[in-house]
Amino acid sequence: MLFAGGAVVTMDPAVGDLPSGDVLVDGERIAAVGADLRDHPLARGAEIVDTAGKIVSPGFVDTHRHAWEAQLRRSIPDVTDLGAYVEHTLARIAPVYREHDMYVGTRRAALSALDAGITTMLDFSHNSRSAGHSDAAIQALADTGIRGVHASMAPHFGDWDGQWPRDVGRLHAAHRSGLVTVRLAALATEDIAGPLIAYGPQLAAVARDLGVGVSIDAVFGASSSAAILDWARDGLLGPHVTLIHATGLTAEAWRAIGDTGATISLAPTSDAQIGLGNAVPAVDEALAAGVRPGLGIDVEVALASDMFTQMRALHTIQRMRAVNGAYGSGAVPNRITTRDVLDFATLQGARTIGLDAVTGSLTPGKQADLLVVDAGEVNTMPLNDAVGTLVLGADPRNVETVLVAGVVRKSGGRLVGVDVAELREQVLASRDAILAAAAAS
């Protein structure tokens, strides 16, 4: 396929951007990016996709979403704090989930991600009540065609089979390569649900022996700061470890993060709206420590589902914070840019979860995970700055085409091969069964 004549945003400094250019896809990979590739040997006989008036960009990378919750999307839109979310969703709802509900929720979340231009999604699957629950979640990722990372963690509350973390080895052995891969998931401290799911030497050893990455949620404040220093001292941090949220951490903890090369997943709307830690997305702290973070959606029960919202929220909050901090002092505010947040949503997101050699930029040789965004609609026209349009103008309705590993997953503004009416029926039936079971328990 030759995507020809559009504005090309590669997010690869070595390749650069093109106000008008071509992207050539050969099978599952990006073959070339250039001003005019019609004479390229691989372009002979290629399907030509006219992208004039459109933007071709890398797919977005969601570094943290609890996909199984998707049937309860926006069920607690005005949740007051983390405790209220935990009580509503993890203590009351999660224990009644069947394997089928895991499949339906995860599939709906992944399809929603693809529809909004997210080509890679880390599913922090913290309702692994049985091996079957985990298998259902992974099957849902596979069936949608998204590049999925299943991060497996035991449930916080309720009855379960006790198979975790042992079962992570089975999952990893079955998914060492391909579009779905496996990580270990954990919490930062024992505060929420006890010691079993808190990261430390035992879980670090599991991840090390399997050779998988670790995603650590609920990294907030003083207790997490102390834990980070302990992990750094014990050699448990490194580029394979992702810390999620990272709000309200101490300066010493940030130095340890920067020194060890641990990665950071920010959840801009979650931090600010639910009020996690100090409620301020820690982008300034991450950048000061030498870490360029990735972005994540977190919980759809209370938050927006798309990456455009995350980019805009972070861009706005950081710039407000920068100007407020410099106000009246005569200092020049240190503002991030639209390119920064697009970088966080693409290449840095891929790096955060260990996939930057595979995806995150339109780099020849990488997998063809890309978007075509219509820049001629009412909300995007006229196209003056491609990066600015992606970050500040576009939304999911403008995502015209989505490719994952060269396979078209959205075309003409619609998901390919998805019966939306049937999906709606499955989601509603699953939601109603979950709510009935929760009410009866």
Domain contains 288: yes
Number of domains in the chain: 2
Report CA-CA distances (Å) from 361 to 17, 80, 106, 258, 350: 11, 37, 26, 24, 9
CATH number of the domain within which 302 lies: 3.20.20.140
Do residues 140 and 70 lie in contact, with contact meaning Cβ atoms separated by under 8 Å?
no
H helices of 298-393, in order, are 307-326, 338-345, 347-352, 386-388
Structure-block tokens of residue 49 = 């996709």
Same domain (yes/no): 401, 261: no
Q: Is 436 domain-assigned?
A: no
Residues 251 and 400 grouped into a single domain:
no
For residues 150 and 197, state if they share a domain: yes
Task: Give the three-state DSSP class for 347.
Answer: helix
- As a whole number of angstroms, the distance between CA 214 and CA 185 comes to 6
pLDDT recorded at residue 201: 97
For residues 142 and 400, the answer to whether their CB atoms sit within 8 Å is: no
Last residue of a domain, one of 327, 352, 377: 352
Does residue 430 lie in a domain region? no
Same domain, yes or no: 310 and 328: yes
54 and 65 belong to one structural domain = no
CB 343 within 8 A of CB 17: no
Residue 423 belongs to some domain of the structure:
no
Q: Which residues contact 129 (CB under 8 A, 6 or more apart)?
A: 95, 97, 155, 158, 159, 160, 161
Flag whether 332 is in a domain: yes
User: Is 438 inside any structural domain?
Assistant: no
Tell whether 365 and 348 lie within a shared domain.
no
Domain range spanning residue 203?
60-352
51: CATH: 2.30.40.10
Q: Is 214 within a domain? A: yes
Q: Residue with structure tokens 């006229």?
A: 382
pLDDT in tens, the chain (441 residues): 999 999 999 999 999 999 999 999 999 999 999 999 999 999 999 999 999 999 999 999 999 999 999 999 999 999 999 999 999 999 999 999 999 999 999 999 999 999 999 999 999 999 999 999 999 999 999 999 999 999 999 999 999 999 999 999 999 999 987 899 999 999 999 988 789 999 999 999 999 999 999 999 999 999 999 999 999 999 999 999 999 999 999 999 999 999 999 999 999 999 999 999 999 999 999 999 999 999 999 999 999 999 999 999 999 999 999 999 999 998 999 999 999 999 999 999 999 999 999 999 999 999 999 999 999 999 999 999 999 999 999 999 999 999 999 999 999 999 999 999 999 999 999 999 999 999 998
The per-residue b/e assignment along 152-179, b for 16 or more CB within 10 angstroms, e otherwise, is bbbbbebebeebbbebbeebbeebeeeb
Last residue of one domain, picked from the residues 302, 321, 352: 352
pLDDT at residue 191 in the model:
86
Residue that the structure tokens 């929760």 belong to: 438
Please report whether residue 420 resides in a domain: no
| Together in a domain, 103 and 142 | yes
Same domain, 202 and 302: yes
pLDDT of residue 302: 95
Angstrom distance (rounded) from CA 4 to CA 155: 48
Residues 342 and 372 in one domain: no
Give the helix/strand (H/E) hosting 440.
helix 420-440
Shared-domain flag, residues 343 and 205 = yes
Q: Could you say which of 309, 324, 352 is where a domain stops? A: 352
Judge contact between 122 and 63, C-beta under 8 A.
yes
Co-location of 149 and 85 in the same domain: yes
CB 362, CB 372: distance < 8 Å? no
Q: Are residues 34 and 114 in the same domain?
A: no
Predicted local distance difference test score (pLDDT) of residue 382: 97
Helix (H) or strand (E) holding 114: helix 99-115
pTM over 0.75: yes
Whose CA is closest to 43, among 11, 2, 93, 103?
2
